[in-house]
Amino acid sequence: MTAPDSIASADRTSFAKEIGRNRRKSFTLLVFFVVMIAVVGVAIDVLIGGGLYLAIIVLLIAIAMAFFAYYKSDAVALKATRAKPADGPEYRRYHNLVEGLCIAAGLPKPRLYVVDDPAPNAFATGRNPEHSAIAVTTGLLQTMNRVELEGVLAHELSHIKNYDILVSTVAVVAVGAVALLTDIGLRFMVFGGMRRGRRDNIDAGPLGMVVALAAMALLVLAPFAALLMQSSLSRKRELLADARGVSLTRYPPGLASALRKLQTDQAVVHEATRATAQLWIESPLDREEGHKGAKLNAMFDTHPPLAERIAILEAM
C-alpha cells in the first residue's frame, strides 16, 4: 500500500477529532479576541479617563466584532486581497479541477476567486465547507501545470474539510481589529486625549501612575501579542493539509513540484499583509534578507519552511 493510500485509510475518528479541535480553537480564538479588545479598551479608558460608559461601549464593540469575525471574515479576507470571482472561459480548468476534487473529498464546491497578481499563491477562506471560498493568483494559474495546480487546490480543499479556514479567517479580523483599536488609542494619547486620564492618575498617587504606565504598555504590546497568536496557528496545519491534499490526488510529486516552484519564485503578493499571511499556501510576504520589514516578517512567519514540506512529500 502506498503512502497516499495509507493516509486515505487512516482512522476516521482521528479526522473527526481534528475537526473538533479546530472548532474549539475557533471558539477559543473568538473568546481571546473579545478579551483582547476589552483589555485594550480598558487601557484606553485608563489613559483618557472615559469612565464606565466607555468601558461598556468597548465591550459591546468587542462582542459585535466577534460576531462579525465569525460571519463576515471571509468577505473581509477576499476584499483585503482584492479577489474577484473566477468567471469566464479562461478559468475553466480551475473550475474543472476543483469540481473533481470536491467529488473525491465529499465537499460542496466552494466559491472560486482570482487575485490579479503575478506571484504564484493561493488561499482558502470561510467559516465551514458550506460557506467557503478558494482564491488563486493569476501567477499561480500561469505558472503551474495541471498536476501541480491540482495539488495546490487539493491542499486548499483540505483546509476547508479540516475547518482550518474558520480559525485562520477569524484570526485575520482579530489581528486587524486589535491593531486598529490600539492605533486609535495611541493617537488619542499623542494628540492630547489623555489629559483627563493623566489628571485622574496623578490624583490617585503612585499606584495611578503605575496603572497608567501598564495601560500604555498594553497598547504598545497588544498588536504583537495578536501576531504571536496568529503565527502559532498555522505551521502544523500546513503539514496536515499537505498530507491530506495528497490523499485526494494520490500523487505526492504533484504538490511537491508546485512547492518547489513556489520556493524558486521570490515574488511577493502585493495585496498581502501580516494579518492575512496565514491564509496563503506559502508566506506571501517579503523575507529576503536586507529588504524592509523582512526580519519582522520572518519573526512572525506563519508557515513551516518549504524545504521541510517538500522533503516530507518526497518521502511519501
Catalytic residue among 150, 156, 238, 282: 156
Q: At what angle do helices 206-249 and 252-264 cross, to 10 degrees?
A: 130
Q: What is the DSSP string of 224-250?
A: HHHHHHHHHHHHHHHHHHHHHHHHHHS
The question of whether 130 is a catalytic residue gets the answer no
Q: Is 177 left (phi over 0), alpha (psi -120 to 50) or beta?
A: alpha
- 198: burial class by Cβ within 10 Å (0-12, 13-18, 19+)? middle
122-128/84-85 β-pairing: unpaired
Q: In Å, how far are 54, 244, 258 from 252, measured between CA atoms?
A: 55, 10, 10
- Rounded CA-CA distance 78/311 in Å is 31
Q: Is residue 175 a contact partner of residue 234, using CB atoms and an 8 Å limit? A: no
- Rounded CA-CA distance 19/39 in Å is 30
Positions marked active-site: 156
